[in-house]
Amino acid sequence: MPMPDTILEDVFNAINLGLIIVDAQYNVLFWNDWIFKHTHIKQVEAKGHKLGGVFSEPLPPTFLNALKNTLEYGLPTIISNALHRSPLPLYDFSSQTNEKVRINQSITMSPLLPQRGGRHCIIQVTDSTTSIKREKMLLSHSEILRRDAVTDSLTGIFNRRFFDEHYKIAFHNAIRQRQCLSILMVDIDYFKNYNDYYGHLSGDNTLRAVAQALKSQLFRASDVIARYGGEEFVLILPDLSAGQAEKVAEKLKNSVFNLAIPHKNSPLFNQVTISIGLSVGMPKVEYDILGRADAALYLAKQQGRNRCVALPLLDEEQK
């Protein structure tokens, strides 16, 4: 026994999505309460009228083309909310402000073949606002996790994990493009003495200040600074000559000296200073340039600290 039309209409009005049925001439045959809720247009006002003329705003070509394909060719169509967020002028009138808030929509069109002939189309509309907000939240959360995975939590610059991965990329790029690569190893002078005298909280503040001072001297997107461990930092500067890299190192040293952070337990200048080891060249073995920068840093400390020492790669030194 077929279900009475009145019961079907009650069912269609009860479901939490919009339903519009149009005939082959685009005339509205049915318009449920969900659509009324989001348009304030009653079914009696829409029924028998062309769908495009019911709304106060013109319908977008994407929607009209999809409707045409469904009616003429019997092809079901989904209008992706990733590409078309709000095809129909539907609004959330429950907003606490007086402004009409257009809702995001997912729309599915399906062909109908009623017994009395002629193709009809049922248009299903769901409010995708919540799912889009959830997707944005997940993407934002994912971005935060990704950023946290490569950022040093204390200083806010890149961490050792990021450096290890990026160094390999920079190394292979230097070989492929036949460009020089510069590695700078930076160490805060007598930092253990600083922590012993001022305490670890002051030490953390100094690490942050030094990290930001070093970072402020980098102006190219390709330049990278990372915390290497403890009070050590490392920088990757691609495509610089030895002279250019040494000028950058001097600017880095001066930027920290100009902070004028007191260090009464330092044998040098009674303020925080740094030592820098630099190596520049076209590397052939993955970690040779990093090892030379580390050796240069050791020499900088031996020679009195608060200075930069540069060492070429071994094969270039022997030429």
Q: Spot the catalytic one: 231, 232, 246, 317.
A: 231
Confidence of residue 145 (pLDDT cuts 50, 70, 90): low
Residue 174 tokens read as 């230097």
pTM for this model (two decimals): 0.59
CA-closest candidate to residue 100, choices 54, 45, 56: 56
Give, in degrees to the nearest 5, the angle at Cα 114 between 3 and 123.
90
With a CB cutoff of 8 Å and minimum separation 6, the contacts of 145 are: none
Q: Is the pLDDT of residue 111 over 80?
A: yes
Of 185, 201, 203, the residue nearest 263 (C-alpha): 203
Token pair in block for residue 292:
């030379």
Name 110's Cβ contacts closer than 8 Å, sequence gap at least 6: 70, 76, 121, 122, 124
Residue 231 annotated among the catalytic residues of the structure:
yes
Q: Where are the alpha helices (DSSP H) in 74-124?
A: none
Question: Which of 223, 260, 32 has the alpha carbon at shortest distance from 126?
Answer: 32
The residues near 25 (Cβ < 8 Å, ≥ 6 apart) are 50
Check: CB of residue 157 under 8 Å from CB of residue 210: no
Rounded average pLDDT over 285-289: 79
CA distance 171 to 286: 7
Instruction: Please write the tens of the pLDDT for every residue from 252-283.
Output: 999 999 999 999 999 888 999 999 999 999 88
Alpha helices per DSSP H over 77-159:
129-150
The domains of the chain, with CATH numbers, are 5-134 (3.30.450.20), 151-317 (3.30.70.270)
Quick check: helix, strand or coil at residue 226?
strand
Percent of the chain with pLDDT over 90: 64
Band (pLDDT 50/70/90 cuts) for residue 1 is very low
Dihedral-angle region of residue 21 (phi above 0 means left; psi in -120 to 50 means alpha; beta otherwise): beta
Residue with the bigger pLDDT between 36 and 221: it is: 36
Instruction: Give the mean model confidence (pLDDT) for residues 162-170.
Output: 91
20-76 pLDDT, tens digit each = 999 999 999 999 999 999 999 999 999 999 999 999 899 999 999 999 999 988 888
